[in-house]
Amino acid sequence: MHRIVLLMAVLTRAIAPQTTGTGTEPTRSPVSTMTTYPPTVFRSMKVTSRPRKPGMRQGKADSPMLNYIFDAYATSNKHFHDKFRPPSFEETASEDTIIDADTGSTVIFDCKVTALRDKTVSWIRVSEVESLELLTVDLDTHTADARYRVDLAGENWKLALADAKVQDSGVYCCHVSTHPPMLRRYILTVHPPSIKMSKEAFLETGETLSLKCAVMHLHPGEVVPEMHWYRGNSTVSLDEIRGGVLIETDHMTLTSHLQVARLKVEDAGNYTCALESPLQMKATARVHVLQGSSLAELQSGVKTTTSYLSLLLASLIVALSTRYEDIR
């Protein structure tokens, strides 16, 4: 009987409310002193994807701290994608690069390499006998020729050759130490200097002689060029031995213009344009001064044999053709 009463008291305590509507504590059963706890209830949790905010960058979270870490990493690794790119030449030219240069000029070879990382850039020259000459490795020069210099401007490995000479012509290679190696070829042609002027001039007495002389494919560098005009075998400049002579020389273009006014028969002869510095070169023109007849031409020392023979040959052809028509 007592067990039944005890069991009913326990059940009554389990289902009784904990508090009353007035906030007073519920009446405790004098039969039982056991403490009970309310049952734990598990509700169904549904995970839903939140819509992405407009303009939110991919990879960034809603947390301000995570966003700060993401931005710091992206800033410190601004070009982190380059770490996975192989080295390459910036230009995609598949053919050799052709370079023409004047004697005495400075030649610049440009070699732009992207994503180089730990690779090495070297400049190599290929001689006529197909032998290789190492010029530079990175920024170090490995040749005894002091005219070569290498410089790095951004990603451009520039090789400079000062005071170029004709014998410097050949093949130059920009080499990158990848596997297999990367190679870019440059074909350099250094033109030899030359001097040009008209070979012959025919004028009459009283006219003004005008001759132009030009030096081609020569860069004087820091040396001031010297150009002079001479007549015949004289070693004295023409403007010092005759009046009415005007000489205009342009040191930038290495051209010189000679003018001789009021020509006389005795002004006929050879006129020489001479470059004295930085090289010694010369060109000669034959000047004929006529006086309106072949006699004056002979006095100036000009031979007319060729012209006379040409005229005689033309006359004979006409005469023979006429006679042949008469016979028919």
pLDDT tens for each residue of 255-302: 999 999 999 999 999 999 999 989 999 999 999 999 865 444 444 444
Looking at residue 11, what is its pLDDT? Answer: 54
Out of 191, 209, 240, a domain closes at 191
Domain check: are 176 and 96 in the same one?
yes
Domain check: are 242 and 295 in the same one?
yes
Task: Work out the percent of the chain whose per-residue pLDDT is above 90.
Answer: 45
Domain check: are 204 and 297 in the same one?
yes
In a domain, 57, yes or no: no
Question: pLDDT grade, residue 17 (50/70/90)?
Answer: low
Question: pLDDT grade, residue 151 (50/70/90)?
Answer: very high
Out of 149, 170, 191, a domain closes at 191
Domain check: are 185 and 214 in the same one?
no
In a domain, 170, yes or no: yes
In a domain, 94, yes or no: yes
> How many Cβ atoms are within 10 Å of 286's Cβ, its own excluded?
15
Domain check: are 175 and 238 in the same one?
no
Q: Which of 170-179, 211-220, 232-241 has the lowest mean pLDDT?
A: 232-241
Domain check: are 298 and 205 in the same one?
yes
> Is 226's pLDDT higher than 60?
yes
Domain check: are 208 and 183 in the same one?
no
In a domain, 76, yes or no: no
> Is 307's pLDDT higher than 60?
no
Looking at residue 69, what is its pLDDT? Answer: 52
Looking at residue 89, what is its pLDDT? Answer: 85
Number of domains in the chain: 2
Domain check: are 237 and 217 in the same one?
yes
Looking at residue 186, what is its pLDDT? Answer: 95
Looking at residue 263, what is its pLDDT? Answer: 92
Domain check: are 301 and 200 in the same one?
yes
Q: Which of 5-14, 20-29, 117-126, 180-189 has the lowest mean pLDDT?
A: 20-29
Domain check: are 207 and 280 in the same one?
yes
In a domain, 48, yes or no: no
Out of 171, 191, 211, a domain closes at 191
> Is 101's pLDDT higher than 90?
yes
> Is 53's pLDDT higher than 50?
no
CATH (domain of 159): 2.60.40.10
Residue 166: which domain range? 88-191
Domain check: are 171 and 260 in the same one?
no
Higher-pLDDT residue of 54, 276: 276
Mean pLDDT of 46-54: 48
Q: Which of 52-66, 99-113, 119-133, 140-154 has the lowest mean pLDDT?
A: 52-66
Domain check: are 169 and 223 in the same one?
no
The amino acid at 36? T
> Is 204's pLDDT higher than 50?
yes
Report pTM: 0.61
Mean pLDDT of 165-180: 93
Looking at residue 65, what is its pLDDT? Answer: 59
In a domain, 315, yes or no: no
In a domain, 278, yes or no: yes
Mean pLDDT of 178-205: 93
Looking at residue 23, what is its pLDDT? Answer: 45
In a domain, 10, yes or no: no
Task: Work out the percent of the chain whose per-residue pLDDT is above 70.
Answer: 61
